[in-house]
Amino acid sequence: MIELLHITERSLWESAEAAGTYAMSTRGKTLQEVGFVHCSFPHQVRAVAELLYGTDPAPGELVLLVIDPRRLDGVPVRVEEAVPGGERFPHLYGPLPVSAVTEVRAWPRPEERSQKERMLAGDLYLADDPELAADALRAGELAERYNASSVTDQPARQALLRELLGEVGEDVVVRPPLSVDYGQYVSIGARTFVNCGAVLLDVAPIRIGEDVQIGPNVQLLTPTHPLAPEPRRAKWEAAKPITIGDNVWLGGGVIVCPGVTIGANTVVGAGSVVTRDLPADVVAVGNPARVVRDVPRS
């Protein structure tokens, strides 16, 4: 769900709370005058606030309304161009029920989180951020060196792997080439084997247990994107962690989607796409992967 946001004067919101509905648009104009309540997507709200109220509003003067579109009680929402050929914004064609406002924040907020902090919290963030770009560049350079390392110099290869990844247990083998986003959010337990062509997109943590077998060209993908087109066009994204339990076997070409946990001892057949959690001690195959039997105990 993408929240809708609206910046307003605190006094106007306090009056609306008493009335039960909010019926202002922007620049002091009412819903009746404009025809809709102008809202913003998360990536738009700062620019809108600066346009309407400047970059340095008086402390306590403004509030940010966080709106859950599921609570609008039938009020239509249309995503429309603010001006012909311009950016598209969500507009509410009816008064905003106070009950649809899930949070009222002071604006500007005293402490804004960095994009990296937003990313690590699992919230929407902008990947086109200098701090994140520097982390990704570091990972890319280390991965390039690791993938070019000599098979005859295993100590040097292992040293590069430990520098690239967040945690590497004893006797771990990862055959190049290996692709990561940041590397530092990947942990691999002892005695795990990762075959060539692994793609570990660790925007959120990827935790791989001990004694895991990972076939060639397996993809563990934590990033996700908004379904709504406007925030996706503005490059907002998020991520959900992936956890692979001890002694799991992922066949060649398996894809594990964001937010999935696979229980210990489970086997996933080659080419399967895992979109939901899998319990321990089962065999799963297909797209999407489905449990077809229990793991034999002998």
* Structure confidence by residue, pLDDT tens digits, 183-228: 999 999 999 999 999 999 999 999 999 999 999 999 999 999 988 8
Same domain, 265 and 167: yes
Residues catalogued as catalytic: 225
* Burial letters 43-53, b for 16+ CB under 10 A, else e: bbbbebbeeeb
Same domain, 65 and 194: no
pLDDT range class, residue 60, cuts 50, 70, 90 = confident
Say how many C-beta atoms besides its own lie within 10 A of residue 7's C-beta.
24
Between CA 181 and CA 94 the distance in angstroms is 44
State the CATH number of the domain containing residue 286.
2.160.10.10
Between CA 47 and CA 26 the distance in angstroms is 14
Q: Considering 85, 112, 139, which residue would you say is the last residue of a domain? A: 112
269-281: average pLDDT: 98
Domain of residue 30 covers 4-112
Q: Considering 112, 144, 164, which residue would you say is the last residue of a domain? A: 112
Residue whose token pair is 């899998």:
278
- Residue 56 has φ and ψ, to the nearest 5°, of -140, 65
Helix, strand and coil in the chain, % to nearest 5: 25, 30, 45
Check if the beta carbon of residue 236 is closer than 8 Å to that of residue 3: no
Same domain, 126 and 88: no
Radius of gyration of the chain (CA): 24
Say how many C-beta atoms besides its own lie within 10 A of residue 102's C-beta.
12
Predicted local confidence at residue 82, as pLDDT: 75
pLDDT above 90 as % of the chain: 75
**Confidence check: pLDDT of 130 > 90:** yes
Same domain, 208 and 249: yes
Our count of domains for the chain comes to 2
* Structure confidence by residue, pLDDT tens digits, 8-58: 999 999 999 999 999 998 888 999 999 999 999 887 888 888 888 887 777
Between CA 217 and CA 271 the distance in angstroms is 10
Mean pLDDT of the chain: 92
Torsion on CA atoms 171, 176, 180, 186, rounded to nearest 10 = -10
pLDDT range class, residue 110, cuts 50, 70, 90 = low
Between CA 245 and CA 232 the distance in angstroms is 32
